[in-house]
Amino acid sequence: MRAEDLVRPCLPSKRQWGYRNKLELGAARAENGEFLLGFHREGTHEIATPAVCPLAHDAVAKAPKALRGALRFAQGSADLGIFRVGVRHSVRTRETEIALWTKPGAFPRAHVAKTLKSALKATSIVRVLADPGRARKIKGVETLDGKGCWGEELADARFLTSAPSFFQVNTAQAEKLAAEVVEGLGGRMGEEGPEGLDGLLVADLYAGGGTFSVPLARAGADVIAIEAAGSSVRDLRRNAEMNGVDIEVVGGDAARELPELGGLDALVVDPPRAGLADGVAESIAEAAPARVAYVSCNPATWARDVARFEQNGYRLARAQPVDLFPQTHHVEVASLFERE
């Protein structure tokens, strides 16, 4: 079968437990007024309140219990409008950030920051002002203590990430994704970093903070990065400068910006779980890159998009599953298409 020839064995994660660099905790008030902090039970708004999370790095595995107690004390009988708490930790940089997602309004910044620091050692504590709900519109980010962002190292490069911005939760496995993309487009990942893409014009759609853009640029490619989220656009520009690479950053929607790019040698696309929006595969085909690296976190929408690419003059050359989420059924796929 063609699938057996194309799909390689899944690349396993060395860490089967303690691999997550990020925790997202939901916050709410119980009927008796008690502050709850934990994980949403699947398919409900109920919050489970475990003491630890064994999937998280050891340094923050006990964060759910520690932060629950600290925030109960910090708030007292008041309601500070906290509806979500994010925690990020890096085993490489040793940096930890606590992000409180709250409704806009008055907030005892110094008191809360001091209380959180006593509960969990953090290099950054921030407050993200937003309204609860699925379509959260970020109204601002306040630094309560520390550097105001989270630092991580990936593929011999340094990345700074703002609390609202996306970063892969399994850094070591994300490094394998980056290697698949660079090598799929003809480059190499060595001990001194990526190389071998000199002069190649590459577009990176849904670029985030530069997980692929920075290694591609360090390999010598001329990179145009397109990203819609404002915080990620700012992170990407900062990360490019910090790593000494030139990346043309375009803040906008991939489907709208793609037709304006002109001739491309290669293209990278890493869309959200919903996959490519209608018409994007066709727009990519019109841009006519010789190779397309498609990274997906949802094999179902990826399979749908494979069919779209093959209907528009591209052939799937290989697919490499990568296990970023041990103990779950989720898997990432790094795939390569070649223009026929």
Active site residues: 297
The whole-angstrom distance between residue 172's C-alpha and the CA centroid of its chain comes to 13
> Cα–Cα distances in Å, from 31 out to 38, 46, 48, 76, 240?
16, 12, 15, 16, 48
Q: Which positions ≥6 away from 42 have C-beta within 8 Å? A: none
Q: Distance from first CA to last CA of the chain, Å, rounded?
A: 20
* Residue entry with tokens 């396993």: 12
Pairing of strands 266-269, 138-146: unpaired
Instruction: Report whether 9 contacts 46 (CB < 8 A).
Output: no
Question: What is the phi/psi pair of residue 101, to 5°?
Answer: -95, 120
SS3 (DSSP) at 10 = coil
> How many CA atoms lie within 13 Å of 280's alpha carbon, on the beta-carbon side?
22
Could you give the CA distance from residue 310 to residue 115 in angstroms, rounded to a whole number? Answer: 56
